[in-house]
């Protein structure tokens, strides 16, 4: 397990929501102040604002993807397609691994069948992000 995946899990243990836990673990890599990315990820917790929709850990991985892939050029926003493709791959891989990308399904709300814990989702989202984006870990 990479040190960033471990940091994401530590972040969650400190009370960060799942999106914040993942995104903040990569703040230095994407050149964003950790406090800023923490604030940006706050509304994505518990499946976007507590609505149990898309898993926050997946949202955090996609947020990092955007920060890595975007040209950050507001005058010519030409990198969306590439970012969408990578984000789609992350979402698909996560869904294949866990049976869903929806928070309430992952938590077993309504079914009683838990597919994955929050820590498991955080670990999976961070590992898939690293794999898809070819992020080098400190172990290499």
Length of the chain: 140
pLDDT value at position 138? 52
pLDDT confidence tier of residue 1, bands split at 50, 70 and 90: confident
Average pLDDT over residues 65-87: 96
With 80 as the cut, is the pLDDT of residue 140 above it? no
pLDDT confidence tier of residue 125, bands split at 50, 70 and 90: very high
Domain boundaries, the chain: 3-133
What pairs with residue 102 in β-bridges? 54
Name the average pLDDT for the chain.
95
With 60 as the cut, is the pLDDT of residue 139 above it? no
Average pLDDT over residues 45-56: 94
| Proportion of the chain above pLDDT 90, given as a percent | 94
With 60 as the cut, is the pLDDT of residue 37 above it? yes
Output b/e per residue, 77-114; b: 16+ Cβ within 10 A: eeeeeebeebbeebbebbeebbeebbbbbbbeeeeeee
DSSP string, 20-56: HHHHHHTHHHHT--HHHHHHHHGGGTTTTTTS--B-H
With 70 as the cut, is the pLDDT of residue 103 above it? yes
**Which is more confident, 140 or 19?**
19
Residue from 8, 1, 47, 45 nearest 26 by CA? 8
| Proportion of the chain above pLDDT 70, given as a percent | 97
The Cα 110–Cα 112 span in angstroms is 6
pLDDT value at position 118? 97
pLDDT value at position 54? 97
């Amino acid at each position: 397990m990479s040190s960033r995946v471990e940091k994401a899990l530590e972040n969650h243990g400190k009370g960060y929501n799942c999106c914040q836990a993942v995104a903040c673990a990569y703040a230095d890599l994407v050149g964003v102040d950790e406090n800023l990315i923490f604030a940006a990820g706050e509304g994505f917790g518990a499946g976007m604002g507590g609505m149990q929709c898309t898993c926050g850990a997946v949202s955090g991985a996609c947020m990092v993807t955007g920060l890595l892939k975007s040209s950050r050029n507001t005058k010519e926003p030409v990198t969306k397609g590439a970012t969408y493709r990578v984000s789609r791959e992350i979402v698909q891989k996560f869904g294949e691994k866990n049976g869903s990308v929806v928070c309430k399904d992952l938590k077993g709300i309504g079914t009683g069948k838990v597919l994955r814990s929050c820590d498991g989702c955080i670990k999976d989202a961070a590992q898939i992000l690293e794999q898809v984006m070819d992020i080098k870990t400190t172990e290499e």
